[in-house]
Amino acid sequence: MTDTTAAATVSPHDQAQILAQAMPYIRKFHGKTLVIKYGGNAMTDPALQQAFAEDVVLLKLVGMNPVVVHGGGPQIENALTRLGKKGEFVQGMRVTDAETMEVVEWVLGGEVQQDIVGMINRAGGKAVGLTGRDGAMIRAQKLRLIDAQDPSKELDVGQVGDILSIDPSILKALQDDAFIPVVSPIGFGENNESYNINADVVAAKLATVLQAEKLLMLTNIRGVLDKEGNLLTELTPNRIDELCADGTISGGMIPKIAGALDAAKSGVNAVHIIDGRVPHAMLLEVLSEQAFGTMIKSR
C-alpha cells in the first residue's frame, strides 16, 4: 500500500485530529534547529529516501531549521572496490590513506551529497550541499586514536580528522534564507590537507555549536540494544560506560554514542538514536510522543 492510498483511507475527521495533535510540537519547535545524521538503510532504500526528503521539507515548511549531515560508508566501499582497494577499519574508524581520501572526497562531497540535495529539492525544498571546506566551516587535525586494548599505544588511521573548531556562520546564513544545508563530513587542516571525519561526530559537534533543540541520528537498528536484543529506550553516562566495558556497544556504535553523549552534555536538549528503517520515523519523533529508538541523557 502506498502512502497516498493509506492517506485516502483516513477520514477527514481523523486527518484533522492528526494535524491538531502535531500543533503543540510545531509551536514548541518553531524556529529551532534540528541536526539530522542521515545514514543507513534510509540512504539506500528508495521508499525511505523519499520519506526522509519529505520529512525534512515538511519540518522546514512548518518553521523549523533542519541541518542534514550525511554519511556514505557503503558508497565509499563500493567505489574502493571498483578501484581494487579494500576498506579497513580500526575501532570503528575508516583507515584513510591519501588514495582513500581522494575517493572519500568525490564520493561524499560529490555523488552522495548531490543525490541528497536533488532528492530534497524534488520534494519541494531548497537544499544546498556543503563540505567542511565551504565557508571555512570545519577545521580539523589528524586524529590521535588511542588503542582501546593498550592505552599506551596510538593507532595511525591516516587522514582521519579530529575537529578543532566549527564556524557555523555559513549554515546560519543559509537557514535565514530558507535553505536546507546538507553537510558532507570533510574537514581541512592548517596546510589545506583534507580530513575524513566520522559523520556522527560532525553531527554531534554541529548540534552543539548551533545550540540545536534536537540531534536525530538515523541508524539501521531499532536503537541501542542490550545483549539480549532488547531496545534500551534511555541511556545515561554510567550505563553507557557499562555497555562499552562489556562489549555491548562496540565498533561503529562507539563514535555514534560518544558524539551523542557529548552533545547531550553540551546543551542539546534532546538526542535520539532512531530507527531509520521505519518510514517517517523522524517526523513521528519530532511531531508526536511516538519514539523509535534510544534517548541519550546527560545524567
Contacts 24+ apart (CB under 8 A), 140-149: 140/164, 140/187, 140/188, 140/189, 140/195, 140/197, 141/189, 141/190, 141/195, 142/189, 142/195, 143/93, 143/195, 145/90, 145/91, 145/93, 148/91
267 is in an annotated binding site: no
239 is in an annotated binding site: no
41 is in an annotated binding site: no
Distances (CA, A) of 48 to 43, 87, 273, 280: 7, 26, 17, 8
Beta strands 154-155; 145-146: pairing state: antiparallel
Cα–Cα distance, 94 to 91 (Å, whole number): 9
For the record, the C-alpha cell of 247 comes out as 562489549
124 is in an annotated binding site: no
Cα–Cα distance, 41 to 202 (Å, whole number): 20
Rg, the chain, Cα only = 19
Instruction: Name the binding residues for substrate.
Output: 72-73, 94, 196
Instruction: Name the binding residues.
Output: 72-73, 94, 196
